[in-house]
Amino acid sequence: MNVGAFMLLKVEKLKKYFPVQKSFLERLLSRKLEYVKAVDEISFEVEKGEVFTLAGESGCGKTTTGRLIVRLIEPTGGKIFFKGTDITFLKGEPLRKIRKNAQIIFQDPYASLNPRMKIGDSVGNPLEIYNLAFKEDKKRLVLEMLEKVGLEPADKFYYAYPHELSGGQRQRAAIARAMILNPDLVVADEPISMIDVSLRAKILELMIQLKEELNLTYIFITHDLAVAKYISNRVAIMYLGKIVETGLKEIIFSEALHPYTIALLSAIPVPNPKVKRKYMELKGEVPSPINPPSGCRFHPRCPYKNAKCSVEEPELVDVGKGHYVACHKLAH
Amino acid sequence: MAEELLRTEDLKVYYYTQDGIVRAVENVNFSIKKRETIGVVGESGSGKSTLGLAILKLVPPPGKIVNGKMFFQGIELTKLNEKEMQKIRGKKISMVFQDPTTSLNPLMKIGEHLTETILVHEKVTRDEACERALKLLEDVGILRERFNDYPHQFSGGMRQRVGIALALALKPDLVIADEPTSSLDVIVQFQILELMKSLKKLYDMSLILITHDISIVSEIADKIALMYAGHLVEIAEVAAFFEEPLHPYAEALLHSVPNIQLSDQKLEYIPGMPPDLINPPRGCRFHPRCSYVKEICREKEPPLIQAKPEHFVKCFNYVK
């Protein structure tokens, strides 16, 4: 990380526990309330202008983290600083102002657009909500934005309904809606995973281009590490609600140190039959986040575990060049 | 040369919907040999799943096989009636589905599931069937103790192992796996693919793996069959295909997939989008998106041309 670079977002020991629904019988028996520890004390910083990727398998907490940052759900604990302001528990008007600058793109463009609203109205709605533009002004701004995201001819798409659009086009509309307020930060939650393979590259390209044009910062959320490698500046690998390793993409993809990162990278299929990968086989699957393993959450599956791993939780340790790893094996 | 197991000739499958006829699979010719793994790759709506279902004659209405022939071990499947087909399904050709949650009966213990499957199709005693079911569980890496567990007690990866055990229960000659790992995380996907590789050897069978992920094919298959908008556009040995893809779509597709092994990769993309199969473009279905398009591509559908001994491509431009 550059000293003096402008820190757009800072997250400290962020926590989100979801209570597990109890049945009537369980309440009668007054069974103890259990929690899914979706995100458990994670800390990271995002610089202005970078693409910071949260990557991991399903259930690792990456989506929950994204939603916490834009305050769609309430954190259980920890702090979120956006442009130096503590936004963790903001409410009402101050929160509304923050949201103008922190937008989100969802995974499923079939669910994220109102089917009864024309594309132009969906994309322009934020302008009205923030009293920025109405009627003719709004239309002009929306048309400009539709052109920017490649929905051309824009006046045709302006009056179209979501069902008339393909998945790729809908996602472009969702991107347009996130960008129209000219935000500082955009959280993109698996924006290409529901889109046809031949159209994915185009959406990624569009996102990179818009980032340059509009001076954006992205928090990119993905399960696909090949995509993470393509788009990111920095990557954080998550496992069961924890960040296990984070650093510049060049470091994570060639000098990863955490056994989980190494295993994850080695399991990714490569579109080239000549490449013979070195597999690091992991046993079993990700355990339940309701009662995560004690100590290091990865220890039951880790081939290098020792006595300390099941007792003490490893902290993220700086190993140089902005590379942080949470593993006892490395911290002497 | 290994013997041919399955061959399709000019296979056509249409869905007769209210909006019109969806030409989901059109003029597909391919064959699979004994012990071979073919990866059928395509985007959503390319007809790859329909092709898999058509081989088992399981295309759901309003879909229909409207033309073409299919031969399996010399038997013409297209001529068999429903009763005769039932002797093929499961026993000769079986299927692994994408989501084992929906293909397993939630009220049945998995051991019972396997035992019943064997009992329905074969004349064996319950004890023998149980014994075989236990052996199947062992082969797919599930502990014998879990014989009496229900599907919901298993994780996604373990459930897919049960799905695979079911497909193998009657020792088929051909297994069709439709996106068997698409709902799984990458580490579990890797485990399942490795399992399928070793079971293919153990059970001495052929495998048709249907997937949207071209990377998976490069890891597991001998041959690749690439589908685009209902047409089979290229079929080749995996090494040859990744070395030198011949169809413009194949070439473009390979350049548009992020590769974890490359640094500073420049992704290219294919302009336009896949066509609507109710009104597919005339001639070659890829021509509106093709950068090498010529006049003839707009007029005539190209034949599947043999370019090299084991390399076929459906493109006029290949003949230079």
Distance CA B43, CA A139 (A): 35
Partner-chain residue, chosen from A166, A274, A285, that has the shortest CB–CB distance to B157: A285
Query: Average of pLDDT values for A276-291?
Result: 81
Structural domains of chain B sorted by starting position, each given as residue range(s) with its CATH number in brackets: 4-313 (3.40.50.300)
Per-residue pLDDT at A1 exceeds 70: no
Q: Please report, to the nearest 10 degrees, the dihedral formed by the alpha carbons of residues A272, A278, A282, A285 taken in order.
A: -10
Contact between chains at A230 and B267 (C-beta distance less than 8 A): yes
pLDDT of residue A331: 56
**Interface A:B, Cβ pairs < 8 A:** 115
CB atoms closer than 10 angstroms to residue B253: 23
Domain presence at residue A217: yes
Per-residue pLDDT at B246 exceeds 50: yes
Domain presence at residue A271: yes
One-letter identity of residue B305 = I
B159 to chain A nearest CA, in Å? Answer: 12
What is the band of A332 on the pLDDT scale with cuts at 50, 70, 90? Answer: very low
Query: Average of pLDDT values for A220-241?
Result: 94
Contact between chains at B256 and A197 (C-beta distance less than 8 A): yes
CB atoms closer than 10 angstroms to residue A24: 7
pLDDT of residue A29: 78
pLDDT of residue A5: 65
One-letter identity of residue B237 = E
What is the band of A221 on the pLDDT scale with cuts at 50, 70, 90? Answer: very high
Report whether B175 contacts B206 (CB < 8 A).
Answer: yes
pLDDT of residue B319: 54
pLDDT of residue A275: 80
Domain presence at residue A232: yes
What is the band of A324 on the pLDDT scale with cuts at 50, 70, 90? Answer: very high
Tell me which chain B residues have a C-beta less than 8 angstroms from the C-beta of A63. Answer: none
Query: Average of pLDDT values for A244-256?
Result: 94
Distance CA B62, CA B18 (A): 9
Taking CA–CA distances from B221, the nearest residue in chain A reads A273
pLDDT of residue B104: 87
Higher pLDDT, residue B55 or A197: B55
Contact between chains at B265 and A230 (C-beta distance less than 8 A): yes
Per-residue pLDDT at A212 exceeds 60: yes
Distance CA B143, CA A283 (A): 14
Per-residue pLDDT at B3 exceeds 90: no
Contact between chains at A279 and B190 (C-beta distance less than 8 A): yes
Contact between chains at A271 and B257 (C-beta distance less than 8 A): yes
Length of chain B: 320
Parallel/antiparallel/unpaired status of strands B63-72 and B75-76: antiparallel
Distance CA B184, CA A34 (A): 26
Most B-contacting residue of A164, A203, A230 (CB-CB within 10 A), to test interface: A230
Query: Average of pLDDT values for B21-39?
Result: 94
Partner-chain residue, chosen from B186, B238, B267, that has the shortest CB–CB distance to A267: B186
Domain presence at residue A149: no
Domain presence at residue A286: yes
Q: Kindly report the pTM of this predicted structure.
A: 0.88
pLDDT of residue B28: 93
Q: Please report, to the nearest 10 degrees, the dihedral formed by the alpha carbons of residues B185, B190, B193, B194 taken in order.
A: -150
What is the band of B184 on the pLDDT scale with cuts at 50, 70, 90? Answer: confident
Q: Does the CB of B215 have a partner CB in chain A at under 8 Å?
A: yes
Contact between chains at B190 and A267 (C-beta distance less than 8 A): yes
Report whether A34 contacts A19 (CB < 8 A).
Answer: yes
A72 to chain B nearest CA, in Å? Answer: 26
A51 to chain B nearest CA, in Å? Answer: 15
CATH code of the domain in which A309 resides: 3.40.50.300
Distance CA A329, CA A110 (A): 45
Per-residue pLDDT at B1 exceeds 80: no
Domain holding A32, by residue range, is: 7-116+161-325
Per-residue pLDDT at A97 exceeds 50: yes
Domain presence at residue A33: yes
Report whether A211 contacts A218 (CB < 8 A).
Answer: yes
Per-residue pLDDT at A23 exceeds 80: no
Distance CA B5, CA B173 (A): 8
Query: Average of pLDDT values for A268-297?
Result: 85
Higher pLDDT, residue A191 or B318: A191
First to last CA, chain A: 24
Partner-chain residue, chosen from A166, A265, A271, that has the shortest CB–CB distance to B259: A271
Contact between chains at B158 and A271 (C-beta distance less than 8 A): no
Report whether B100 contacts B151 (CB < 8 A).
Answer: yes
Q: In angstroms, how far is CA A316 from the centroid of its own chain?
A: 20
Domain presence at residue A216: yes
Instruction: Write out the two tokens for B256.
Output: 């548009």
pLDDT of residue B155: 86
Report whether A189 contacts A106 (CB < 8 A).
Answer: yes
Q: Where does A53-161 have alpha helices with state H?
A: 62-69, 92-101, 119-129, 135-148, 154-158
Contact between chains at A201 and B256 (C-beta distance less than 8 A): yes
pLDDT of residue A3: 47
Contact between chains at B187 and A197 (C-beta distance less than 8 A): no
A189 three-state secondary structure: strand
Residue appearing with tokens 């995201």: A149
B92 three-state secondary structure: coil
Distance CA A192, CA A203 (A): 7
What's the structural domain count of chain A? Answer: 1
Q: What's the pLDDT tens digit per position in A38-95?
A: 999 999 999 999 999 999 998 899 999 999 999 999 999 999 999 999 999 999 999 9
Report whether A269 contacts B191 (CB < 8 A).
Answer: no
Q: Does the CB of B310 have a partner CB in chain A at under 8 Å?
A: no
Report whether A324 contacts A317 (CB < 8 A).
Answer: yes
Burial-class residue B245 by CB neighbours within 10 Å (0-12, 13-18, 19+).
Answer: buried
Contact between chains at B258 and A229 (C-beta distance less than 8 A): yes
B292 three-state secondary structure: coil
Q: What's the pLDDT tens digit per position in A129-185?
A: 999 989 999 999 999 999 999 998 999 999 999 999 988 899 999 999 999 999 999
Contact between chains at B187 and A267 (C-beta distance less than 8 A): yes
Contact between chains at B267 and A201 (C-beta distance less than 8 A): yes
What is the band of A195 on the pLDDT scale with cuts at 50, 70, 90? Answer: confident
Residue appearing with tokens 């013409």: B76
Tell me which chain A residues have a C-beta less than 8 angstroms from the C-beta of B196. Answer: none
Residue appearing with tokens 């209405």: B61
Task: Provide the β-strand partners of residue B214.
Answer: none
Distance CA A80, CA A66 (A): 12
Average pLDDT, chain A: 91
Q: Where does chain B have alpha helices with state H?
A: 48-55, 82-88, 100-103, 110-121, 126-139, 156-168, 186-202, 214-220, 238-243, 248-256, 295-299
Q: Does the CB of B260 have a partner CB in chain A at under 8 Å?
A: yes
Domain presence at residue A48: yes
Taking CA–CA distances from B253, the nearest residue in chain A reads A198
Higher pLDDT, residue B102 or B195: B195
Counting residues of chain A whose pLDDT is more than 70, the rounded percentage is 98
Q: Does the CB of B156 have a partner CB in chain A at under 8 Å?
A: yes
Question: Closest by alpha carbon to B179, among B236, B96, B250?
Answer: B96
b (16+ CB within 10 A) / e for B166-203:
bbbbbbbbbbbbbbbbebbbbbbbbbbbbbbeebbeee
pLDDT of residue A4: 52
